[in-house]
């Protein structure tokens, strides 16, 4: 895809407002200053603004800014952190005054195309409801095996703006992008992009499924579009993609233009003719989701010419990160698994279906997602369920409707269910949750933390939730197995 040169000289001397003073917001301050912009950072948290002041930006509390309409009119551009919704007060006010709003990813794209820090990089973009981080990490492992100067960035943790400033300058970026980031990045046209799957998630933010799908589809606007064919919504995006080349991947036999699995071997029939990559049994994490993620990572790497043997080496050297179906311990014949990263029903589905008998720990913030379809599908796998968090009652009610024989415990119980007052309270709830789950388990069962919901109602993040689970599990003794509490 041919790209015209990018001119950002208009930013020199211009006043730019950055919304959000945390990781994403702070990361764009330095490029803006390097472009000669006059940068102001706003946030509702006075303490968070200290970091912006320390790197040379002016700061203003959001309430103070909104209280003076003339102050906002002074800005030529607003750069927003991805969590800000279009209808948030500061962005709605900017739109009313016709001030352009870019996301941090959008700015990073323009900075890269303008070659502010070095030659343009090739972006390999990964999005989807589930599997983004695993796929991006697999891709990074392949690129490392290929000795390509590269870095994993975006939603995976490292802001893209920081990745572009690295020395040596990367030639390829493995970019994980959320639907929020894609919404605010309409100009991004990657060398290749993949939509792994699409299920209900963040519907409250996007105003419904159509908005969510539209945001995800932006990953397919570059040279090569890769879609998960086993997911109907993702597969449907292939027809509307403007990409020069559209490639699919599936768990079954790959047709021409696809990657898939034949006789237990991952095969590329898109960037080569029936090129074998590696045995499915060598993929970590094991199971269908891991294989699909590996196929997606392989497709992106192959799209820029990485050889099959290098893809094999990269995938074989990849190891699963924390809180992604990680085994915490085996105790008394019961396996305890931390899949705190399963923050929506679609992710929880894959996790639960990998086991025959499950004591399910679920709950948190459903973010507008419906849980009933998941419960119907997994009901025959459930030994018991322990639900927690703000939307735990919704999960308990779905279990009562569709799996009435499954014992359900809700914690905390009573009027304060789903409400905690800090990390210590949340950890105390998790200890009780794990104790109840262990008491319902028998040898051969799996106690699985696969919450199907976000963590922020109780925990700092999904990592805190996973650590709290693991620490609680490690405190159990053999006497706790199969001893249900009243």
Distance CA 367, CA 391 (A): 9
**80 annotated as a binding-site residue:** no
Neighbours of 420 (CB within 10 A): 20
Nearest by Cα to 292 from 347, 215, 373, 355:
347
DSSP states of 386-398: EEESTTHHHHHHH
129 is in an annotated binding site: yes
SS3 193: strand
The DSSP annotation for 435-470 comes to: HHHHHH--TT-EEEE--SSBSTTTSSSHHHHHHHHH
> Is 130 labeled as ligand-binding?
yes
Q: How many other CB atoms are there within 10 angstroms of residue 286's CB atom?
A: 14
- Could you tell me which residues are beta bridge partners of residue 16? 39, 77
- Report whether 197 belongs to an annotated binding site: no
Would you say 9 is a known binding-site residue?
Answer: no
Q: What is the spatial distance between Cα 399 and Cα 448, in angstroms, rounded to a whole number?
A: 16
Taking alpha carbons only, the member of 333, 315, 313, 337 closest to residue 325 is 337
Phi-psi region of 350 (alpha: psi -120 to 50; beta: other; left: phi over 0): alpha
223 phi/psi in degrees, rounded to 5: -75, -45
Tell me how far apart the alpha carbons of residues 227 and 387 are, in angstroms, rounded to a whole number: 34
- Compute the distance between CA of residue 263 and CA of residue 201 in angstroms, rounded to an integer: 34
Q: How far is residue 283 from each of residues 218, 317, 399, measured CA to CA in Å?
A: 29, 9, 33
Q: Which residues is 103 bridged to in the sheet?
A: 80
Q: Which residues does the annotation place in the binding site for ATP?
A: 128-134
Q: Which residues does the annotation place in the binding site?
A: 128-134
């Amino acid at each position: 895809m041919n790209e015209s040169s990018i001119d950002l000289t208009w930013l020199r001397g211009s006043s730019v407002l950055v919304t959000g003073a945390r990781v994403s917001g702070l990361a764009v301050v330095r490029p803006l200053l390097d472009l000669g912009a006059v940068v102001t950072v706003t946030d509702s948290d006075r303490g968070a603004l200290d970091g912006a002041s320390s790197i040379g930006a002016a700061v203003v509390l959001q309430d103070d800014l909104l209280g003076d309409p003339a102050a906002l009119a002074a800005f030529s551009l607003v750069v927003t952190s991805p969590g800000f919704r279009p209808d948030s007060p500061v962005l709605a006010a900017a739109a009313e005054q016709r001030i352009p709003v870019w996301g941090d990813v959008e700015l990073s794209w323009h900075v890269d195309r303008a070659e502010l820090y070095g030659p343009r990089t090739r972006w390999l973009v990964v999005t989807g409801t589930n599997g983004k981080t695993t796929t991006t990490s697999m891709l990074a492992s392949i690129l490392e095996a290929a000795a390509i100067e590269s870095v994993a960035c975006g939603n995976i943790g490292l802001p893209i703006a920081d990745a572009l400033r690295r020395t040596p300058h990367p030639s390829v970026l493995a970019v994980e992008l959320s639907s929020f980031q894609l919404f605010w990045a309409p100009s991004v046209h990657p060398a290749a992009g993949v939509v792994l799957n699409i299920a209900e998630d963040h519907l409250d933010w996007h105003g419904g499924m159509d908005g969510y799908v539209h945001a995800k589809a932006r990953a397919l606007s570059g040279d090569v579009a890769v879609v998960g064919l086993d997911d109907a919504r993702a597969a449907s995006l292939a027809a509307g993609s403007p990409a020069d080349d559209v490639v699919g991947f599936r768990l079954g036999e790959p047709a021409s233009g696809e990657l898939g699995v034949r006789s237990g071997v991952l095969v590329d029939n898109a960037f080569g003719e029936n090129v074998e990559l590696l045995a499915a049994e060598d993929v970590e994490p094991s199971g269908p989701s891991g294989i699909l993620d590996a196929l997606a990572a392989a497709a992106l790497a192959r799209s820029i010419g990485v050889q099959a043997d290098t893809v094999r080496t990269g995938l074989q050297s990849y190891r699963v990160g924390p809180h992604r179906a990680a085994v915490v311990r085996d105790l008394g014949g019961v396996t305890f698994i931390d899949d705190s990263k399963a923050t929506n029903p679609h992710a929880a589905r894959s996790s639960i279906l990998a086991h025959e008998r499950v004591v399910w720990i679920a709950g948190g913030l459903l973010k507008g997602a419906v849980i009933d379809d998941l419960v119907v599908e997994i009901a025959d796998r459930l030994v018991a369920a322990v639900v927690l968090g703000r939307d735990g009652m919704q999960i308990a009610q779905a279990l009562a409707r569709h799996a009435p024989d499954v014992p359900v415990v809700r914690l905390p119980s009573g009027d304060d269910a789903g409400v905690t007052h800090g990390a210590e309270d949340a950890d105390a709830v998790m200890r009780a949750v794990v104790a109840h789950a262990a008491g319902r388990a028998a040898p051969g069962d799996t106690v699985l933390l696969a919450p199907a919901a976000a963590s922020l109602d109780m925990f700092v993040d999904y990592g805190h939730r996973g650590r709290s689970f693991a620490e609680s599990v490690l405190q159990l003794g053999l006497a706790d197995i199969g001893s249900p509490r009243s």
